[in-house]
Amino acid sequence: MPVLARLFAGLMLFLVLVFLLAPIAIVIPISFSPSTVFSFPPTGFSLRWYENIRNADGIIKALWLSTQIAALSTAVSLVLGTLCAIAIVRGAIPGARLVSTFMISPLMIPGLVLGIAFLHAAREVGLRDGYIPLLLAHVVVTMPFIMRTVLASLALFDFTMVDAARMLGCAYPAALWRVLVPNILPGFVSGALFAFIVSFDNYPVSIFLVDVHTKTLPIQLLNQLEMSPDPTLAAVATVMIVLTILALFACDRLVGLRRMAAV
């Protein structure tokens, strides 16, 4: 490639990075601004919006609910998905390709469509309470992310090690637990982290399943944004951004970022 084309591509990358990071970065100074209206450039420094998080209606409660739903749905997907992935990779089920497509297909369905479908189903079986439908729906939403990473890790795993463990007197479940699980742990970590983020950030599926008492964080934040847009939101957002960066950093140490992004 000639120098000019390279320069152009480099410039594009620079512009793209600035553009991608700007809306995230802008939130941080706003959260420390002393005034109620968002203004740029900021005029001072204050932590009042961080103190306000505690008083803001329902944010802490929503945060706790979202954490629960994300952690539980990720755990359930992890167990169910891994068992299924092992069966697929070992060729134990007829039509293994079809099965893996089926398990990954929620990824291709628009979120709102899934949400509406869940709403119909919850009504049909008479589930009125918000928590259980929300949890079940989030297992479906997180499943594809677990399946993708675990299937990719299993493709590289040598199953003769499990056979060896069994020959040495280990029962099949114990062999999986003590040989397979430690070996594909990086896949678990990256899949689980991604699944957690996807569930934690889900809006379009949850919006049809929440009720007054069970509101996840994205729903609560968007409500707040429409009702009373003050920098408290920027403070919450800043906390979330910092947590995300820490999680990504930890993940890079554990498994490598590119592996997590599955590229």
Partner 1 sequence: MTAIDLTAAKPVVRRRVELDPRLVMALPSLAFMSLVFAFPLALLMAKSFQGPDGLTLAGYNRILGDAYYRGVIWDSLTLACRVTLITLLFGYPAAYALTRAKGGFQLIMFALVFLPLTVSIIVKTFGLTIMFRREGILNWLLLNTGLLDAPVRFVFTEMSLVIGMVNVFLPFLILPLYSVMRMLDARYLDAAATLGTSPLNTFRRVFLPLTMPGVIAGSSIVFALSVAAYVTPGLLIGERYMTMSMVMAKAFLNFRDYQLGSAMACIMLAIALVIVFLSSFLTRNLEARGR
Our finding on whether 246 is near partner 1 (CB under 8 A) is: no
Q: Are 142 and 192 in contact (CB under 8 A)?
A: no
Rounded Cα distance, 72 and 200, in Å: 11
When the beta carbons of 88 and 165 are compared against partner 1, the nearer one is 88
Our finding on whether 110 is near partner 1 (CB under 8 A) is: yes
Q: Are 135 and 248 in contact (CB under 8 A)?
A: no
- Residue 89 CB, nearest approach to partner 1 (Å): 9
Our finding on whether 130 is near partner 1 (CB under 8 A) is: no
Of 47-55, 149-157, 178-186, 232-240, the segment contacting partner 1 by CB under 8 A is 232-240
How many residues of this chain bind partner 1 (CB under 8 A)? 87
| Contact map string, positions 44 to 63, toward partner 1, x by CB under 8 A | --------------------
Rounded Cα distance, 141 and 139, in Å: 5
3-state secondary structure of 95: coil
Q: Rounded to whole angstroms, what are the CA distances from 3 to 10, 12, 80, 166?
A: 10, 14, 51, 59
Token pair in block for residue 22: 């700007």
Q: Which amino acid is at 246?
A: L
Rounded Cα distance, 60 and 31, in Å: 17
- For the chain, what's the residue count? 263
Residues in 145-174 that interact with partner 1 by CB under 8 A = 172
Residue in 57, 163, 211, 252 binding partner 1, rule: CB under 8 A: 252
Q: Are 216 and 59 in contact (CB under 8 A)?
A: no
Rounded Cα distance, 261 and 254, in Å: 13
Of 6-14, 55-63, 148-156, 177-185, the segment contacting partner 1 by CB under 8 A is 6-14
Rounded Cα distance, 49 and 166, in Å: 58
Of 11-19, 43-51, 53-61, 182-190, the segment contacting partner 1 by CB under 8 A is 11-19
When the beta carbons of 165 and 234 are compared against partner 1, the nearer one is 234
- Residue 19 CB, nearest approach to partner 1 (Å): 6
Residue in 155, 167, 247, 250 binding partner 1, rule: CB under 8 A: 247
Residue in 67, 170, 201, 230 binding partner 1, rule: CB under 8 A: 201
- Residue 220 CB, nearest approach to partner 1 (Å): 10
